[in-house]
Amino acid sequence: MINDPKAPGPVLRPLSRRHFLGRSAQGVAALGLAGGVSAILAACGSSSTATPGATSASGAPAASGTTAGTLTAAAIQFCYLLNVQFAGSYFAMTKGYYKADGLDVTLLPGGPSLAPEPIVVSGKATLGVTHTAEAVSAIINGADLKIIGATFQKNPTCIASLASKPIKVPTDMYGKKIGISDTNAPIWNSFIKANGLNVSKINVVTVGFDVTSLASGEIDGLMAFAPNEPTILKLKGVDTYTLLLSDFKYPLMEDLYIAKGSDLSDPAKVKILAGLMKAESLGWSDVLKDPSGAATLAVTDFGKTLGLDPAQQNLDAAAQNAFVADADTAAHGLFWMTNAKIAGTIASLALGGVTATPSMFTNAVLQEVYKGGSVPA
């Protein structure tokens, strides 16, 4: 069951996070690896910067790389609709951070069947925000892409349980009924491997994308996204406990920024990318300081046609901040990918049969942004 974002009431309205989990989990299959990168491009070949709902700093979409007056046009392709998931970009737009670096930026919403990778490879977007397994799978398949930053420093995937019957460690699932959607099965299987769990001791049931079965006690745990399903339940007065997969041998950076690999050898393109990432850093710094303002921008402006629930967006914005900033970002700046986090991400992907390498990741653009510090230079 995938819920209509315009449906009344906040109960059964998971946001893009369900597709985040599903598309990320499928990884190779989601990108059609059997057909190669040409098949990926063909699948999205009709996409353009005129995507419905696209938002430009100048009020109208412009082709990436062109010059509009004194500003250079650029575009960012998101992996889903314009909810609070991308709030840093909304602050960057409304506060003029892009323009301050000479950029006229168009924000391109995605959808459940749209992959940012081919849009970036085609040059129709300068930058993309996507999911780890998909970015890596595209690169494996020959896409000219590099991962240049990570919004979420920590994997937000979790096992949600009722606070009255919490699942605090993986072995607490023994003898319990755990709900897993079909699309999340690869993540579940990888987590089982990482922790050496005896799955025969766990009653795994297939569920859809709503939280009713957990709230009613029909199941004891639900694979979920920490800033989403628990907030939905909280709004209904149901307290939950979240076991983060990242706390138990399944580290994974997520909501990755991707760019064309060839752009990184072009000084002019690097300057544009550094300007974009600087604005993104400033915007996400604002989200960290003002999650309520971020939610307001999502509900009343950038995602105003989506029927977003203000209370849920507020809770989501506050909850996701815990995954954006940590000791590493305090030391190096937002989006920075440490060697340890890259290694952890590679190890987690390998459990699901996706082979990443350190060469797929680079902090080169962020080095231009921070110049050795932790705030944009």
- At 235, is the pLDDT very low, low, confident or very high (cuts 50, 70, 90)? very high
CA distances from 102 to 78, 240, 371, 375 (A): 21, 45, 19, 19
Matching residue, tokens 């766990």: 202
- At 55, is the pLDDT very low, low, confident or very high (cuts 50, 70, 90)? confident
| Residue 130 pLDDT exceeds 90 | yes
| Residue 81 pLDDT exceeds 50 | yes
The arithmetic mean of pLDDT across residues 138-148, rounded, is 98
Number of helices (H) and strands (E) in the chain: give both, helices first.
Answer: 15, 12
Q: Which among 359, 368, 371, 144 is positioned nearest to 270, based on CA atoms?
A: 368
* pLDDT of the residue at 54: 73
Q: Which residue has the higher pLDDT, 33 or 131?
A: 131
Least confident of 71-75, 205-209, 328-332: 205-209
Backbone angles phi, psi at 246, to 5 degrees: -65, -20
pTM: 0.85
Do 195 and 217 contact (CB within 8 A), yes or no?
Answer: no
| Residue 45 pLDDT exceeds 90 | no
* pLDDT of the residue at 49: 34
Give all domains of the chain, ordered by start, each with its CATH number: 17-154+252-370 (3.40.190.10), 157-247 (3.40.190.10)
The arithmetic mean of pLDDT across residues 199-211, rounded, is 93
Choose the most confident range, by mean pLDDT, from 36-50, 142-156, 205-219: 142-156
- At 346, is the pLDDT very low, low, confident or very high (cuts 50, 70, 90)? very high
Least confident of 5-19, 104-118, 170-184, 294-308: 5-19
Least confident of 31-40, 121-130, 184-193, 361-370: 31-40
Residue percentage of the chain with pLDDT more than 90 = 78
The arithmetic mean of pLDDT across residues 328-338, rounded, is 98
The arithmetic mean of pLDDT across residues 84-108, rounded, is 98
* pLDDT of the residue at 293: 98
The arithmetic mean of pLDDT across residues 324-328, rounded, is 98
Name the average pLDDT for the chain.
86
* pLDDT of the residue at 1: 28
Least confident of 53-67, 242-256, 260-274: 53-67
The arithmetic mean of pLDDT across residues 304-331, rounded, is 97
pLDDT digits (tens, 9 = 90+) for 157-200: 999 999 999 999 999 999 999 999 987 899 999 999 999 999 99
Residues in the chain: 377
Residue percentage of the chain with pLDDT more than 70 = 82
| Residue 30 pLDDT exceeds 90 | no
Calculate the dihedral angle through the C-alpha atoms of 294, 284, 27, 212, rounding to the nearest 10 degrees.
Answer: -30
* pLDDT of the residue at 53: 64
* pLDDT of the residue at 210: 83
Cα gap 271→277, rounded to integer Å:
10
